[in-house]
A and B are shown apart, each in its own frame.
Chain A
Amino acid sequence: MLNILKIAVRNLTRFGRRTLLTSSLITLGIVGVLLFIAVSGSFKAIMIGQFTDAMLGHLEVHHKGYVASIDSLPLNLNMQPTMVEKVDQVLKKVDAVESYSERIKLGAMFSNFTETTSIRINGVDPVKEAATTPLLPGRIIEGSKEGALIKPGEILIPTVLARGMKVKVGDTIVLVATNRDGSVNGKTFVVRGILESISGPSGKDGYITLNDARDLLRMKEPEISEIAIRLKNPAKLDQVYAELSQELSGIAGKQGQSAMAGKGGGAALEVHTWADLSPFASIVRMIDLLAVFIKVMMVSIVLISVMNVMVMAVYERIREIGTISAIGTPPGRILSLFLTEGLLLGLGGAALGTAISLAVIYALNVWKVSIHFGMQEQAIKLSPSVSASDVVTIAAMVVIMALLASLQPAWKASRMDPITALGHV
């Protein structure tokens, strides 16, 4: 085998420029794919982080049917206190949960005393909300970021609203809301800060404290619209989702409804992942699809270039094949000789491509490449990385493709009639 390897290496170096060109193509393909995976993965993680860490949390628990009607923020689908208490007990038991934040979501009229507009409001516990969506304080572009996120009587408003209503930090505004019984109530708030508006659900919501929301809605009982959950390890989202769905399934509704409804499901409660709640999930899927497409392109590049080289190698060495066949080289050994050449092309390209990719990924991490999104003060720092499994999968794919691409020319070489081959000019 070592001798076949030695001869294969010499044959490849015989046409050095062509071998180099083909290896470069394979190398470029691998570099392209691994860099795309690394950078798009980092971009994806950052974007997902923006949604989960600034707005949604990783998971959310709602009363059944709430998400289906979420645009109207239905107060009659809030979770009752007993239900909230049970969820609270479950969440405390689940080790993977880092924090969670109860929210009351409501629609209100926002008035600066001269003009009025509508606003979506989240009533939150400032400490729990900051722990569950740690990027939320970072969205405050005007006003103090120090201390509690909001205090009683204060409101955080989105920048689009502040600009449209000409409201500044420290101004007093009025929120008017209708409670579930249909009665209207108003309450004044001081603008504590202005939030950067971001796209996606809740990206243009205002924030007040939970108790202020209850006062505004004149709630008799401490109801909750949703519970946002932050996980210790977002990679375990599906696992925790399944666990929570299971754990919460025993919580009955007001009328004793039985099982909870996971992503659908039976009765009183629903658990949703961030992907169920954010349209960005489809962009994530598109990025994944794009990665598959790029992989297919790379595989095609490898297949075509290796096949081209091997077909040429066979064609140019027909007399040589005739000679080695005439002196008694078994067809299987001729086959392995050409397969080894293809394999070496693939291995060389894969090794070089992987090395270059890892070096570039390392350099990108060292240089801390930043990207600015919207009006965010802080640039997002890309931290591209690629998993060992991705590297191994891509490299293995290339090597297997190189082997497959050389199979046909190698087979042809091994089946060649020695007389015809020796007579080839």
Chain B
Amino acid sequence: MSLVFAQNLQKTYRSGEVDVLAVKGVDFTIEAKSFVAFVGPSGSGKSTLLNMIGCLDHPTSGKLTVVNTDVATLDRRAAAEFRGKHIGFVFQDFNLIPVLTVYENIEYPLIMVQAWPEAKRRKQVTRLLEAVGMSGQASKRPDQISGGQKQRVAIARALVTDAKLVLADEPTANLDHDTAYRIIGLMKTMRDELGTTFVFSTHDPKIMGEAEVVFTLEDGRMQQPSAKAVAGHA
């Protein structure tokens, strides 16, 4: 059973007086435990697609199923609940909460989104801190760690609720090459260890090479999957 299934997916934005068709009849399937990249130039519809998969936005038409749920029908509250339960997010700008420590940032979804008991929370956060190699920085605030470390914390935060799917919009855009590779490597490791599906967007050709499945978008349309993607996916 595929984790994400999209059929003839469309998204139209209203920009002033003009309707802009951002995603034009896209079909794709993402299998569980895969490592997927959406690639394409700016304005190609990558982020719009990720937003729809992440239930942050609704498709204008077409079918979109995520974790066996027709997410197009979810209202605001249900969408928030769905995200909290099944989806983790990694942002380009890390988006850690500045007043919380590394530990507390990772713990945050377990308190504010789900209500895990203290002992269970501690165990989970400690496990993820170790997994992303941030155990020694647990008590630091985001402004006391580097960009790469922030993204590690963000990945741990995305995984802490045992999300089935992690969506990362340009997760390496603000990192240098070495750090970017290490972050992609970490995401892949997490996928291998935890079985979480990772879907990320990028326009960096070297980074997209790390993906097992690559969907290329151009002007809102899906191009034919690359040979590597097909092979990797087979």
Contact = CB atoms under 8 A, between A and B. Distances in A.
A327 B109 contact: yes
B80 A329 contact: yes
A419 interface: yes
Interface string B98-118: 111000000011011100000
B76 A324 contact: no
Contact of B81 (A11, A330, A419): A330
A422 interface: yes
Given A3-B111, A419-B56, A419-B57, A324 B81 contact: no
A319 interface: yes
B56 A7 contact: no
A368 interface: no
Contact of B83 (A4, A322, A326, A422): A326
B155 to A, nearest CB: 13
Contacts of A7: 97, 99-100
A418 interface: yes
Contact of B113 (A11, A319, A327): A327
A328 interface: yes
B7 interface: no
Interface string B49-69: 001001011000000000000
B191 interface: no
B14 interface: no
Given A329-B80, A419-B51, A324 B87 contact: no
A329 B84 contact: yes
Nearest to B82: A328
Nearest to A322: B95
Interface in A323-355: 323-331, 333
Contact of B91 (A10, A323, A329): A323
Contact of A328 (B51, B85, B91, B97): B85
Given A419-B51, A419-B57, A422-B91, A329 B112 contact: yes
Contacts of A98: none
B52 to A, nearest CB: 10
Contact of A326 (B56, B81, B98): B56
A418 B55 CA distance: 10
The number of chain B residues touching the other chain, given as a range, is: 20 to 34
A327 B88 contact: yes
Contacts of A422: 56, 91, 95
Interface in A258-283: none
B99 A10 contact: yes
A418 B97 contact: no
A343 to B, nearest CB: 17
Contacts of A13: 99
A297 B29 CA distance: 63
B109 A320 contact: no
Nearest to A10: B99
Contacts of B51: 419
Contacts of A320: 95, 97-98
A322 B76 CA distance: 13
B157 interface: yes
A320 B96 CA distance: 8
B108 to A, nearest CB: 8
A329 B97 CA distance: 13
B89 A326 contact: yes
A328 B99 contact: no
Contacts of A11: 99
A10 B100 contact: yes
A14 interface: yes
B77 interface: yes
Contacts of B109: 327-329
A319 B142 CA distance: 15
A205 B10 CA distance: 97
A219 to B, nearest CB: 86
A4 B98 CA distance: 15
B80 A14 contact: no
Given A326-B89, A329-B80, A331-B77, A319 B95 contact: yes
Interface in A141-194: none
Given A323-B91, A323-B97, A328 B81 contact: yes
Contact of B80 (A3, A323, A328, A419): A328
Nearest to A326: B89
A326 B100 CA distance: 18
Contacts of B91: 323, 422
Contacts of B80: 325, 328-331
Contacts of A329: 80, 84, 109, 112-113
B83 A328 contact: yes
Contacts of B111: 3
A13 B99 CA distance: 9
Nearest to B112: A329
B122 to A, nearest CB: 14
7 closest residue pairs by CB, A with B = A328-B84, A10-B99, A328-B83, A323-B95, A328-B113, A3-B111, A329-B112
Interface of A: 3-4, 7, 10-11, 13-14, 319-320, 322-331, 333, 418-419, 422
17 contacts: A3-B112, A11-B99, A13-B99, A14-B99, A319-B93, A323-B89, A323-B95, A327-B83, A328-B81, A328-B83, A328-B84, A329-B109, A329-B113, A330-B77, A418-B56, A419-B56, A422-B56
Interface of B: 51, 54, 56-57, 76-77, 80-85, 87-89, 91, 93, 95, 97-100, 108-109, 111-113, 157-158, 161
Given A320-B98, A327-B108, 8 more contacts: A322-B95, A326-B54, A326-B89, A328-B84, A328-B161, A329-B84, A330-B80, A331-B80
